[in-house]
Structure formats: C-alpha cells, structure tokens
C-alpha cells in the first residue's frame, strides 16, 4: 500500500509541471476565448464589464458576407496548398532518398533553408519579385512577349500568388519529413519485391506509399493547420485585398479585433477556426 501511494505521488509530481504548463498556456486561453465569444465588448472593455449575448456573435459572423468570403478563401488557400505540396513532397522525398550522389545531404539542407527564413522577410522579397513595374517575374514574361501580370493587384491572381510563396517556403520542410519516414522502411521489403520481379513503380505503389502512411498523415495534419492559420504574408503584402480576394479568417479576425474593436466577434471567429482545425485533425 505504501509503495502504491509513493508511486502515485511520484506520478503526480512528474506530471504536474507539464500538465500545469499545458493548462496555463493552451487550455485556459482556449476556454477564455470561448467565454469572450459569448460576450459583447471591445478590446478595451474590462472582462467584468462585458455583456453576455449568448450565441449572437456566432449568428452575426455567419451572416457577414466578408466572413463568408474569408472562410471560403481560407479553405481554398488550404486545399490548393495541400494539392500542390503533398504530392510534390512525396515525389521529391522519394527522389532524393534514392539519389546516390555526393552532396545529397547538402541538397536536403538547401531545400530546407527557406523554411528557416522568417516569413516577413520572405514576403518582402516576394513582394519585390511580384512588382508590376520592376519585378523580375514580369521581366521574364517580357522575354517571351507576354503581357505583364498584376500578381498581387488582381483578384484573379492574388491568392494564387500567395500560395506560390507558401509552396516555395515550406515544401522543403515537408519533404524532409517524408525522407525521415523513408529511412524507417526496412530494405528487405524492396529486396523481396525485386526477387518477385516488381519494377520501381510497383515498389513505390505497393511498398513505399503504404509504409509512409504515418509520415503522410503527419504532413497532412501539419500542412492543414499551418495553411488554415495563414496570416503573415497577407498582412505584409495584400491586407486582404484586392476586393477581399485574399481576406482569410485569421486576418479578418485581426481586423475585427484591433481595427474595429469587436472582441466578442473576433473571439467567435477564432473559436470557429479552432473547431474547424480540431475537427479536421481528428478526421
């Protein structure tokens, strides 16, 4: 009995710091945002003075055309990034893993480097590349007698231009995760498949992809979370424009809270985004 009590006390002692930090910095902020979302008030309103309005904030945000547009843009941005990055990271990862060349590790390092650069710095550089007048991209188009594009200034191209920035920056990170998953696949499977006469494509389809399932799911979850929360490049480059074509939930939430002062509405938007990410992650 004494040993059991000591074991219980030591378990509680070891768990308390971690559980306490998670509660303080994750669970409590989530619950606080959920509480604020049920109240009306500005960012300057004391918590004790906020007026309880129930689910009125949620009803109001879903009747706002701007929020509906932001929600569609967020899903569109996320889905297109997944469609582009997931297969590319798998393909490049398999190619680099099987590439027996000197400097292969250097290639992986160079591929990973863009992910280490702050997104604000990347957005500034890409803003110059997308410049309608002096941007290198439009200069390249002129070499082929093509008309210059208003990359970030057109509702038809602005969101796709932001997607290209994210693909360039994060593709290497997800590729490294895939390569890490490939290192865990026993080589015996490939040797047995070779003896059975399987070609390279059949090995990839029937061995590599199924055994990469955990890495692929991890990439999918992280990619979904990161793209649904996109904020920095939009804040730096487009501010949600032109014509709300790049306005996403996180930026619309920021505008609602800090520019218009509606803390309750912004918290409702934040909690809706949290529930969407949580549901997709569970699925």
Ranking 121-135, 164-178, 226-240 by mean pLDDT, the lowest is: 121-135
How far, in Å, CA of 99 to CA of 111, rounded? 15
Return d(Cα 249, Cα 67) in angstroms, integer: 7
**pLDDT one-digit tens code per residue, 187-228:** 898 889 988 888 888 988 999 999 999 999 999 999 999 999
Distance CA 196, CA 189 (A): 11
User: CATH classification of 69-247+277-282, choosing from 3.40.50.11270, 3.40.50.300, 1.10.10.10, 1.10.3720.10?
Assistant: 1.10.3720.10
Residues 93-118 have pLDDT tens digits of: 998 888 765 567 777 788 889 999 99
Note the pLDDT of residue 213: 94
* Tokens matching residue 38: 């049920």
Across the range 26-48, mean pLDDT stands at 89
Return the closest-CA partner of residue 38 out of 19, 59, 24, 57.
Answer: 57
Whole-number pLDDT of residue 132: 85
* 147 or 57, which is more confident: 57
Res. 122: pLDDT tops 80: yes
pLDDT band at 165 (very low <50, low <70, confident <90, very high): very high
H or E segment at 40? strand 39-40
Residue 239: band (very low, low, confident or very high) from pLDDT cuts 50, 70, 90: very high
Residues 182 and 188: their CA atoms lie apart, in Å, by 13
Furthest-apart CA atoms within the chain: distance in Å: 85
How far apart are the C-alpha atoms of 155 and 168, rounded to whole Å? 21
Contact at 8 Å (CB) between 268 and 57?
yes
In our burial notation (b when 16+ CB lie closer than 10 A, e otherwise), range 40-63 reads bbeeebeeeebeebeeebbebbee
Cα–Cα separations (whole angstroms), residue 166 to 1, 29, 105, 123, 174? 57, 28, 23, 10, 12
- Of 29, 130, 37, 78, nearest to 248 (Cα)? 78
Q: Return d(Cα 143, Cα 23) in angstroms, integer.
A: 58
The model's pLDDT over 13-31, given as tens digits with 9 standing for 90+, comes to: 888 888 889 888 989 999 9
Confidence grade of residue 155 (pLDDT, cut at 50, 70, 90)? very high
Whether pLDDT at 1 is above 70? no
CA distances from 74 to 24, 79, 199, 281 (A): 29, 9, 41, 16
Banded pLDDT at 163 (limits 50, 70, 90): very high
Residue bearing tokens 């995760």: 177
Helices (H), the chain: 2-22, 28-36, 56-63, 65-98, 104-116, 119-129, 136-143, 158-182, 188-195, 200-203, 209-211, 213-228, 232-237, 249-254, 263-282
Over residues 83-88, the mean pLDDT reads 96
Hey, where are the domains in the chain?
Answer: 69-247+277-282
User: Position of tokens 């990034």?
Assistant: 81
Please give the radius of gyration of the chain, using alpha carbons only, rounded to the nearest integer.
24
Query: How is residue 61 written in tokens?
Result: 């945000």
What confidence tier does 146 reach under pLDDT thresholds 50, 70, 90? confident
**Residue of 162, 135, 122, 168 lying closest to 245 (CA atoms):** 162
CB 155 within 8 A of CB 243: yes
């Amino acid at each position: 009995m004494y040993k059991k009590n000591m074991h219980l006390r030591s378990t509680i002692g070891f768990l308390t710091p971690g559980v306490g930090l998670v509660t303080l910095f994750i669970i409590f902020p989530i619950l606080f945002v959920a509480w604020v979302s049920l109240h009306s008030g500005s960012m300057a309103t004391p918590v004790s003075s906020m007026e309880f309005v129930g689910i009125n904030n949620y009803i109001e945000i879903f009747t706002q055309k701007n929020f509906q547009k932001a929600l569609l843009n967020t899903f569109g941005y996320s889905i297109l990034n997944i469609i582009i990055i997931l297969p590319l990271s798998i393909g490049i990862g398999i190619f680099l893993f099987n590439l027996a060349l000197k400097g292969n590790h250097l290639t992986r390092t160079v591929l990973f480097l863009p992910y280490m650069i702050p997104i604000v710095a990347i957005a500034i550089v890409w803003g110059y590349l997308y410049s309608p007048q002096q941007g290198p991209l439009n200069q390249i188009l002129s070499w082929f007698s093509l008309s210059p594009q208003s990359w970030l200034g057109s509702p038809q191209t602005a969101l796709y231009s932001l997607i290209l920035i994210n693909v360039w920056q994060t593709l290497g990170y997800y590729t490294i995760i895939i390569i890490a998953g490939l290192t865990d696949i026993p080589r015996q499977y490939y040797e047995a498949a070779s003896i059975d006469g399987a070609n390279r494509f059949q090995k990839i389809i029937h061995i590599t992809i199924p055994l990469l399932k955990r890495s692929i799911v991890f990439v999918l979850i992280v990619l979904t979370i990161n793209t649904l929360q996109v904020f920095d490049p939009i804040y730096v480059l487009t501010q949600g424009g032109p014509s709300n074509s790049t306005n996403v939930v996180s930026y619309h939430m920021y505008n609602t809270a800090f520019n218009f002062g509606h803390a309750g509405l912004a918290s409702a938007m934040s909690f809706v985004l949290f529930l969407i990410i949580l549901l997709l992650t569970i699925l």
